A and B are shown apart, each in its own frame.
Chain A
Amino acid sequence: MTDAVPALRVEALDFSYGQVQVLFGIDLTVEAGEAVALLGTNGAGKSTLLKAVCGLLRPSTGRVSLFGEDITTMGTDRRVAAGLVQVPGGRATFPSLTVEENLRAGAWTFRRRRALVAERLAEVLDLFPELGSRLDSVGGTLSGGQQQMLALGRALMLRPRLLLIDELSLGLAPVVVERLLETVRQLNADGTTVLLVEQSVNIALSLATTAYFLERGTVRFGGPAAELVDRDDLVRSVFLDGASAALGGYT
């Protein structure tokens, strides 16, 4: 641990959908330059936490700060401009916009600096050449893997300081996942802080040095990723709960 300001600090965050509280006193810190995994079962509140961090949802109490700056009440677009960028879950491209328009949408915050937009566009296409060959195709016609690349590419147009990724691997072939993971790993190595939400413990731990484990809206574990692997009680709940349910409760 260094004394440097953490990239992201979430303190005592509560969130409710109407009457139903889903997040309870979440504390979470992502140090600058780190890769952190946020794990948990279905419905644990991982995506909700990401949305609250991005400002898509307003927490009922608590504090969110980005590189030391309090952003709790900041609008999403200003958080994005400040370097907090999320790759939303479920291949959230703009399906009827072309690939190029999708990427340009990511450059909205600096749209008037045309040279910079062109430069970033070239960088992203360099990273994902298969997008370059389909610039004029409509987003919805891409394969699942290409759509995830497009979503990631759109986020990278902003050259984020803190990149949040919601379920990178969902529904993708292992080869594609490995390819995307490699990209994220490289970004992290180049200095981008990464917070990765995953259901797959293997994927998350192959990337992250620190891990948080969320269960029913509370943080059950937060610490070095290596220690989480030893916490059978937690990891099993991810791996085995599903399995036991599938077996009809023969545990």
Chain B
Amino acid sequence: MDLVVVLDWPMHLEFPVSVIFLGAIVGMSYGLLATGLVLVYRAQRIINLAHAQLGVVGAAVLAYTVLQLDWPWPVGFVAGVVAAALLGVVTEVTVLRRLADAPRVIVLVATIGAAQLFVFIAYLILNRIDGRIGGFPLPFDDRVAIGRYLVLTDSHLLILRLVPPAAIAVGLILRFTSFGLAVRASAENADAARLAGIPTRRVAMGVWGLAGAMAALSAICLAPDKGLALTDALGPELLVRALAAAVLARLMFLGRAFAAGIAIGVVEQLVFWNTSSNGVVEVALFVVILGAFGLQARRRESTRTEERSSWELARLTRPLPSRLAADRRVRAAGWVGAAVVTAGAALAPLWLSNSQTFLMTGIVNLAILAVSVSLLTGISGQISLGQVAFLGLGAAIAHQVATELDLPFLPAVAAAGVVGAAAAVAIGLPALRLRGLFLAVTTLGFALVSQRWLLGQDWMAGVGAQLARPELFGVSFHGQHAYYLLALTGLAGAVLVTRTVLGGPLGRTMVAVRDNEAQAAALGVDTTRAKLLAFAVSGFLAAVAGALYGYGAEQFSPENFPVADGLRIVSVAVIGGLGSLGGTVVAAFVVFGVDRLVDVAEVRLFMTAAGLLVVLMFLPGGLAGPLARIRDAAATRIARPTPRTRQASPPHSADKPDQFGRGSSAEAVAEGSA
């Protein structure tokens, strides 16, 4: 028998009580993931986007040892948990320790790279299992019916048997052991902990080991439902659920995070039971995240400022020395260089096949998107992990304007840009209170809402949308090469717009707000306006990129804008060097070029993941650093006085600073695209 609950307020809900039980069980796995996130965050102020993937490696080891080596399940289980714990320790020592003093955005992106590397490792392990037809191995094959409607499957029973003891064990370890005391002390005040004789590095290794073991347990519990397609399965949906639970616990309280995970599981099951569309769950989660942040921002405005203060950015590249920048020959060479690069890019399709040109068009659009991220994150200091949402939004709006209003290409692109700007401002409103890691969570949630719900609505892209490539001023852009040129024009426009914004007062204002918000406000800068304008410009660019993408693809659906691409775009902006337009565009071509044009999956996965980590560890300023050195060397050569010019003009004439006081930080950000 089963009790059926009927609620009429706040909305009509009808469900058997057993659904709550089921939701609680599923929610425990979210809770365990969230607990791992909170643990790492507390110890190191890192939101570890690689947490679930760390666990996937453990689950892969379990599958391999049991299915391939015929180890007994419990032995394979221990092997998997230990493997993930060790991998966690190795990650801490090799990657995160090196980045201990790096800005938090770099560390965040490093965890994205680590996540990709873990997926690669798990992929290699799973590939070594012969005959992968069977599902994920389980220790038993039980089924229990609860109530009249529901059956607990073996994976639910696994959760029920493994997770509660594990959660309690973690709680006890932190509360009562000296390791736990050391973790809590280091989390509160790392310097004071070291002065008390606590070896904080070893503690960090312990934290990562524990987090790895917890992640493996989560993945092993979630894996049976996903079969052996593990590497794709534990994606952004899971991450957002775990993050939502973690932020409900204010990224501080482990027990609360676990409970919040359970609550999210229950809500999710109730929604499933009452609606057919699972996108509603994402919307509900997004609202929960926003609500939680809203309450927190009010409660502890002044008490925990480290999220904000630690959110300084990657070091920006030096501008060209003003003496060189003012030299007429250097300027001319800059324009010539830009013209050569543009011409090269425009002519590239002559050596490419039609399908490669099509892929290149997509890359150009993603480069525009990367520029929008570089502007928002690099210049304005606001992180967005969900910029891909505006890409999808732009495409959908262009589709609506073109089909419903029957307007041509240019108005459709413009409308997409305007709507994108407005949407970005709406998403940016919470950023007036939140910055840094918390904004990262909300934007990630928005990207999921956008892909799973918003874009799928009939008044957006629906299940699929079509756009015909345009004809402009009598010229047809239907061909691959022709449309590629159109997209390239869009990229050039985006770079010029961004450069203009940055060189002007708005750019200086944004940099001032990013570097020291209180000081900027004290000097009379309207910080609200500066932030929202940054969101607006960046949303505009992203949506225009989306419209160009939509016209280029000719047909698209919400699946074309996966949340993972939002993370990837941030990596591109960081690889390029945040705030450096030239570096960002180069990075977009390199990263997406490898991604789209390399056929071997192993090579592709490895290059994107390992490449990102290598750049972060050895080029903390991104590609912009070496690019700036090349530029400086070239400029110095060009500006070297020839005997004749030395007589004709005194050398100091070029030294005179111009009226804008060159060398200001606004100029520092305007460089790089030369």
User: Which A positions have Cβ atoms within 8 angstroms of B?
Assistant: 51, 54-56, 75-77, 80-81, 85-88, 92-97, 101, 104-106, 108-109, 111, 151, 154-155, 158
Taking a contact as CB atoms under 8 Å apart, the answer to whether B188 and A77 are in contact is: no
Q: Can you identify 22 A-B contacts, CB atoms within 8 angstroms?
A: A51-B191, A76-B194, A76-B197, A77-B198, A80-B194, A81-B197, A92-B189, A92-B192, A92-B195, A94-B192, A97-B181, A101-B184, A101-B185, A105-B181, A105-B193, A106-B196, A108-B178, A108-B196, A108-B197, A154-B196, A158-B196, A158-B197
A94-B193 Cα distance, complex, nearest whole Å = 8
**Closest chain B residue, CB of each to CB of A54:** B195
Residues of A contacting B184 with CB < 8 Å?
Answer: 94, 96-97, 101
Instruction: Convert B182-219 into 0s and 1s, putting 1 for each residue whose CB lies closer than 8 angstroms to a CB of A.
Output: 10110011011111111111000000000000000000
A81-B195 Cα distance, complex, nearest whole Å = 10
**Closest chain A residue, CB of each to CB of B191:** A56
Known pairs A56-B194, A108-B178, A108-B198 / 4 extra A-B pairs, C-beta < 8 Å: A77-B197, A95-B188, A97-B184, A106-B196
Taking a contact as CB atoms under 8 Å apart, the answer to whether B188 and A96 are in contact is: yes
Taking a contact as CB atoms under 8 Å apart, the answer to whether B196 and A56 are in contact is: no
Chain B contact residues, majority secondary structure = helix
Residues of B contacting A155 with CB < 8 Å?
Answer: 195-196
Taking a contact as CB atoms under 8 Å apart, the answer to whether B181 and A106 are in contact is: no
From 154 to 188 in chain B, residues with beta carbon under 8 angstroms from any chain A beta carbon are 178, 181-182, 184-185, 188
User: Which B positions have Cβ atoms within 8 angstroms of A?
Assistant: 178, 181-182, 184-185, 188-189, 191-201
The 10 closest A-B pairs by CB, nearest first: A80-B197, A92-B192, A109-B197, A77-B199, A76-B194, A94-B188, A111-B178, A105-B185, A108-B198, A86-B195
A97-B189 Cα distance, complex, nearest whole Å = 11
Contact A56/B195 with A94-B184, A105-B182 known, Cβ cut-off 8 Å:
yes
Write the nearest CB–CB distance from B183 to chain A, whole angstroms. Answer: 11
Residues of B contacting A95 with CB < 8 Å?
Answer: 188
A76-B200 Cα distance, complex, nearest whole Å = 9
Residues of B contacting A93 with CB < 8 Å?
Answer: 189, 192
Write the nearest CB–CB distance from B617 to chain A, whole angstroms. Answer: 19
Taking a contact as CB atoms under 8 Å apart, the answer to whether A85 and B195 are in contact is: yes
In this complex, the member of B188, B192, B197, B198 whose beta carbon has the largest number of chain A beta carbons within 10 angstroms is: B197
Write the nearest CB–CB distance from A212 to chain B, whole angstroms. Answer: 21
A70-B4 Cα distance, complex, nearest whole Å = 74
A69-B181 Cα distance, complex, nearest whole Å = 30
Residues of A contacting B196 with CB < 8 Å?
Answer: 80, 105-106, 108, 154-155, 158
Write the nearest CB–CB distance from B24 to chain A, whole angstroms. Answer: 29
Residues of A contacting B182 with CB < 8 Å?
Answer: 105, 108
A80-B199 Cα distance, complex, nearest whole Å = 10
A101-B183 Cα distance, complex, nearest whole Å = 12
A51-B197 Cα distance, complex, nearest whole Å = 14
Taking a contact as CB atoms under 8 Å apart, the answer to whether B197 and A97 are in contact is: no
Residues of B contacting A109 with CB < 8 Å?
Answer: 197
Residues of A contacting B193 with CB < 8 Å?
Answer: 94, 105
Residues of A contacting B198 with CB < 8 Å?
Answer: 77, 105, 108
Taking a contact as CB atoms under 8 Å apart, the answer to whether B189 and A77 are in contact is: no
Taking a contact as CB atoms under 8 Å apart, the answer to whether B188 and A97 are in contact is: yes
Q: Kindly identify which residue among B181, B191, B192, B201 contacts A101, using a CB–CB cutoff of 8 Å.
A: B181
In this complex, the member of B178, B191, B192, B193 whose beta carbon has the largest number of chain A beta carbons within 10 angstroms is: B192
Write the nearest CB–CB distance from B625 to chain A, whole angstroms. Answer: 16
Residues of B contacting A151 with CB < 8 Å?
Answer: 192
Write the nearest CB–CB distance from A20 to chain B, whole angstroms. Answer: 15
Residues of B contacting A88 with CB < 8 Å?
Answer: 191-192, 195
Q: Kindly identify which residue among A77, A80, A104 contacts B181, using a CB–CB cutoff of 8 Å.
A: A104
Taking a contact as CB atoms under 8 Å apart, the answer to whether A92 and B197 are in contact is: no
Residues of B contacting A97 with CB < 8 Å?
Answer: 181, 184-185, 188
A105-B182 Cα distance, complex, nearest whole Å = 7
Write the nearest CB–CB distance from B339 to chain A, whole angstroms. Answer: 37
A88-B201 Cα distance, complex, nearest whole Å = 19
Residues of B contacting A87 with CB < 8 Å?
Answer: 195
A75-B203 Cα distance, complex, nearest whole Å = 14
Write the nearest CB–CB distance from A98 to chain B, whole angstroms. Answer: 10
Write the nearest CB–CB distance from A56 to chain B, whole angstroms. Answer: 6
Residues of A contacting B201 with CB < 8 Å?
Answer: 75
**Closest chain A residue, CB of each to CB of B185:** A105
Residues of A contacting B191 with CB < 8 Å?
Answer: 51, 56, 88, 92
A85-B197 Cα distance, complex, nearest whole Å = 8
In this complex, the member of B182, B196, B199 whose beta carbon has the largest number of chain A beta carbons within 10 angstroms is: B196
A106-B193 Cα distance, complex, nearest whole Å = 8
Residues of B contacting A75 with CB < 8 Å?
Answer: 199, 201
Residues of B contacting A51 with CB < 8 Å?
Answer: 191
Write the nearest CB–CB distance from B196 to chain A, whole angstroms. Answer: 5
**Closest chain A residue, CB of each to CB of B190:** A56
**Closest chain B residue, CB of each to CB of A151:** B192
Taking a contact as CB atoms under 8 Å apart, the answer to whether B194 and A77 are in contact is: yes
Residues of B contacting A104 with CB < 8 Å?
Answer: 178, 181
A88-B178 Cα distance, complex, nearest whole Å = 22
Residues of B contacting A106 with CB < 8 Å?
Answer: 196-197
**Closest chain A residue, CB of each to CB of B184:** A97
Residues of A contacting B200 with CB < 8 Å?
Answer: 77
A54-B194 Cα distance, complex, nearest whole Å = 9
**Closest chain B residue, CB of each to CB of A117:** B178
**Closest chain B residue, CB of each to CB of A91:** B192
Write the nearest CB–CB distance from A175 to chain B, whole angstroms. Answer: 25
A76-B197 Cα distance, complex, nearest whole Å = 7
In this complex, the member of B178, B192, B193, B195 whose beta carbon has the largest number of chain A beta carbons within 10 angstroms is: B195
